[in-house]
Structure 1
Amino acid sequence: MNIEIIGFLAGLFTTIAIVPQIIKAYKTKKVAHLSPVFFSILLIGVFLWALYGFLKEDYPIIITNSISFLLNGYMLFLYFKYK
């Protein structure tokens, strides 16, 4: 098995983990239970992972962490929009 497939699958699952929370927050407009500090720290982390991926030219890391950055950034946006 190609090692990049494992990287893409790992990134895929960790990236899409936030999607149910985004859907719930968007539908209910309830975000009081969320921590903006958590999402801010997570954003920094996935940004740094994406940067690391760019420096190493590792596409699974670049793609999944860039998407994760966008999704978690959107979740943080929803927090401030609905709080």
Structure 2
Amino acid sequence: MLITTLIGLAAACCTTVSFLPQVIKAWRTQSTRDVSFAMFTLLVTGNSLWLVYGALIGDLPIVVANVITLGLVGAILALKLRYG
């Protein structure tokens, strides 16, 4: 069970951190022209549902990954709303 959890946490870390460069770029350039509003709205919705699912089944990797990812994609969506 421990190795399964560690693999899940490693996978969650890789996929979650992948949004960080986009957040940094949008923040620095104050431009989100090429960011799709619809895609990030769906992504926020999906991550929210994954977070609820992970909490309901008590799966730590799913919960941790989606809390962090939701923060990052939420930031991108907020920057999109602010900068267009």
Q: TM-score, normalised by structure 1?
A: 0.95
Q: How far apart are 1:9 and its partner, in Å?
A: 0.7
C-alpha distance in structure 2 between counterparts of 1:80 and 1:28, whole Å? 14
1:38 is displaced (CA, Å) by: 0.3
- Residue 41 of structure 2 corresponds to 40
Shift of 1:70: 1.0
Give unmatched runs, 5+ long, in structure 2: none
Q: Give the whole-Å Cα distance in 2 for the aligned partners of 1:18 and 1:63.
A: 15
Amino acid at match of 1:12: C
**Stretches of 4+ aligned residues off by more than 2 angstroms:** none
Aligned amino acid, residue 46 of structure 1:
N
**Post-superposition CA distance 1:9-39 (Å, at most 9, x none):** 1111111111001111111111111101000
Q: How many positions carry a matched residue from both structures? A: 83
What percentage of aligned pairs have identical amino acids? Answer: 36
Structure 1 unmatched runs, 5+: none
